[in-house]
Structure 1
């Protein structure tokens, strides 16, 4: 007698909602309405005879049974994806799919991607900068670049590089900060903060021991890109993050507002599924990323200043 399986669409709704802990985010990922996700999961719960989610005014959460079931459903989807990928010629001409933050993509990855294309002209790359959680291999991604203090279990994490943090501003703004002796005074500056940054002015001030600067005042933006743009417009001093800020320092659009450079406690990591390197082009891409990252690691060790 054949096994009676739950309907696949309902299982997809459940897996995505369980991973995101949100019907809305699951709907956005699957390109359906939140109502469709909700109704599909209700039908699945009726079929199984068990509640999978706790519905509350502020959101949803998995029940104990739901969390246990999610582990099996996620593993089943992963096996289907892996089995499909291993079919003969299935991978032919499939682009390498990478997920990363927008600022990392525009300021580090894209300027270097031509070098990869020159060496492997027939390998295409897809870059996704949407802010969403990536599951390997269910979501179809091969790699992700993430910021973290340490690797996370369950996937393959390889450290790319850590950031070097240094205050930056426009040349004209730097002149406005100088005292009668020509020394720039950071305490006179408007600090530009990045709300989403894991390390910002408070971390830099504590590491350098600089006093007289209020880390709470200033202009606040939601991305590193906006912070750099605001600084280049003379709106204040941003915390530059090398290598993301390197092109602005090289062009002269931004200059260092203080000589103290500190190493970030977080780093960029290249994340992938454990078996991602079975495809030759994925192995080549990974090795290329590591080689490009290694160049900054060598340069930063020479160019960084000790805190003063």
Structure 2
């Protein structure tokens, strides 16, 4: 007697909603409406006779039963995806699919892809910069680049490089911070904060021991890219993240407001799908990307030769 399965579209809705803990994000991923996700899961709950989610005013969360069921459903979809990828000649020419944060993609990855395309002109690359959690291999991604303090169990993580934090601003704004003796007074500067950043001004201040700077005020933005743009327009001092800010420093659009550099606790990691070691082009891409990142992975040291002099001036 054949196994009786729940409706497969509803299971797909459930897997995405459970992974994101959001009907809205699941709908965006699957290109349907949140209402379709909600109705599909209600139908699934009725068919199974159990409650999979707790609906609350501020969002949804999996019930204990839903969390347990999600592990089975996710594994089932993963097995289907892996089996499909192993089919002979299955989409042998499909692009390498990479998920990456927008600022890292535009400022570090894209400028280097020319080199990859020169060596492997027939291999196409697809870069996705949407802010969403990636599920290997269900989402179809081969790699993801993520900022994290340590690898996460369950997938293959390869360290690329860490960030180095240094205050930056426009040349004109730096000139406005100089006193009669030529010293830079950061305590008079407007600090540009990145709301979503896990490490920002307080991290730099704690590591350098700089004092006299108020982090409560200033300009607040939601992306690193916007912070760099605001600094280049003379709106204040942003916390530069090297190597992402290296291009601006080389061009002169931004300059270091202080030479004190702090090593970030986090690092960029290349996360690989299980199937990434089965396609030659994926192996080549991974080796190439790790090689490109190697010169930027400097020792985790904090340099603060003049931080106290600058801040107290």
- TM-score > 0.5 by shorter chain: yes
Match of 1:220 in 2: 220
* 1:86, distance to aligned residue in structure 2 (A): 0.6
RMSD: 1.4
Distance in 2, Cα, partners of 1:216 & 1:71? 43
Structure 1 stretches lacking a partner, 5+ long: none
Give the match for residue 177 of structure 1: 177
- Does residue 157 of the first structure (1) align with residue 157 of the second (2)? yes
Secondary structure at 2:122's aligned position in 1? coil
Deviation at 1:2, TM superposition (A): 1.2
Q: Which residue in 1 is equivalent to 2:273?
A: 273
Aligned to 1:135: 135
2:163–2:266: 8 Å Cα contact kept in structure 1?
yes
Mean CA deviation greater in 7-16 or 40-49: 40-49
1:306 offset after TM fit, Å? 4.1
Partner Cα distance (1:305, 1:264) in 2 = 12
**Residues 262, 307 of structure 1: 8 Å contact kept:** no
Name the stretch that deviates more: 268-277 or 83-92: 268-277
1:257 corresponds to which residue? Answer: 257
Deviation at 1:82, TM superposition (A): 0.5
Once the two structures are superposed, residues 72-113 of structure 1 have per-residue CA deviations (whole angstroms, 9 ceiling, x without a partner) of: 000000000000001111131110001111000000000111
Q: 2: CA distance between counterparts of 1:147 and 1:95?
A: 23
Alpha carbons of structure 1 residues 33 and 9: separation in structure 2 relative to 1, 3 Å: same
Q: How far has the Cα of 1:259 moved from its partner?
A: 1.0
3-state secondary structure, aligned to 2:164: strand
Residue aligned with 1:97, SS: strand
Quote the Cα distance in structure 2 between the aligned partners of 1:136 and 1:248.
35
Shift of 1:301: 5.1
* 1:43 Cα deviation after fit: 1.1
CA contact 2:155–2:272 (8 Å) conserved in 1: yes
1:92 lines up with 2:55 in the alignment: no
8 Å Cα contact 1:144/1:270 also seen in 2 = yes
1:185, distance to aligned residue in structure 2 (A): 1.1
Equivalent residue for 2:240? 240
> CA offset at residue 302 of structure 1?
11
- Structural mapping, 1:13-162, within 5 Å: 13-162=13-162
State the Cα distance separating 1:8 from its structure 2 match: 0.8
SS at match of 2:268: strand
